[in-house]
Amino acid sequence: MTAVRLPQGLPRRLPVRQVLCLVPLALVLVVAVQHRSVLAEGFGHLRSAEWPWLVVAAAATCLTWVAAAFTRQGAVVQRLPARRLLATQFAAGAANHLLPTGLGASAVNLRFMTVCGVPLARSSAALALYMLAEAITRTGLLLVLLVAFPDALRLGGVVPSSAAGPLLFAAAGAVCVAVAVLLSVRRLRTAVLSFLRTALYEARTVHSRPARALALWGGSLAFPVLQAAGLTAVGRAMELPVPPAHMAIAYLAATLAVAAVPTPGGIGSVEAALVVALVAAGGPVAVATAVVLAFRIITVWLPLLPGALTLGALMRLKVI
């Protein structure tokens, strides 16, 4: 049997997986070019900051990936490979900043769990449980801090009081429309009920194991605490005249406010919300803006390229 040779001069086709591995790098380049002015200004602020506090902020950022790995493991009964799980969280962070908020990390983690042998229905339920636990702990932490520091945010001079009514009305209208669509479409209603049954079963199974429950809720609490600590450290590095607890409240309030905004990684919306929250906490506009830009450089832009490279490597190795 003779081997078939390709005619000379014809280019060889690259495998689809190799091409997909290059997509994250291309997206990083596109996003960096689009936000080059923000990058330049952010790096300029970093040069004038106190570096020991910046090291603390960078360390807190690195620990958020560990917290995310604990939470992901806590949301599923099956044991996941620890090193690959941690690498996946680092890569998921990059994917989350390149795609609409939440979709990038969700897709990466869903693919990782299915490759590890977790059925799709259970992987989706684990993903929903992770998001629910993260939302509950973030909201609960904010409420506790607001009770402890009721005067931390002074929104009266920043957000018009007349805007609260329309925002609540729009949120209530969106919920009513979603419920109406769910009740009127039979297939959608059946699919949602089936998913809820699977999710409830997985939640009961996870909470029947103390180690999994501790990882789920401990990691969910540690994640926003570490993020808020990173912002507080950057604020101290740039001498923002706002108490650390107030900066933490500002961060939690801002991130909850933009959670539903479908922008890649919250880029643009998170910065604006954080500046508004820090100003509401008593910070000068110029310093608050500098702190936010420096904070986003540390938490988003510096890990973006290595995160994209890790994502490409995981795709090439068929980990995801």
Q: Which two tokens stand for residue 239?
A: 């001498």
- Give the sign of the dihedral formed by CA 32, CA 35, CA 37, CA 41: negative
The pLDDT assigned to 267 comes to 65
**Residue that is written with structure tokens 């992901």 in the block:** 72
Q: Identify the DSSP state of 156.
A: G
Q: What is the pTM of this model?
A: 0.80
- Give the sign of the dihedral formed by CA 296, CA 301, CA 303, CA 304: positive
Residue 280's nearest CA partner among 143, 156, 163, 148 is 156
The partner residues of 100 in beta bridges, in order of sequence, read 264
Q: Which two tokens stand for residue 196?
A: 């809820």
DSSP three-state, residue 290: helix
Q: In the chain, where are the structural domains located?
A: 23-158+169-316
The pLDDT assigned to 168 comes to 53
pLDDT tens for the chain, 320 residues long, are: 455 554 554 455 555 555 565 666 666 666 666 666 666 776 777 777 888 999 999 999 999 999 999 999 999 999 999 999 999 999 998 888 777 666 788 889 999 999 999 998 899 999 999 999 999 999 999 999 999 998 888 755 444 445 445 555 655 666 677 667 656 766 767 777 777 888 888 889 999 999 999 999 999 999 999 999 999 999 999 899 999 999 999 999 988 887 755 555 556 678 888 888 998 888 888 888 889 888 988 998 889 889 988 998 898 888 88
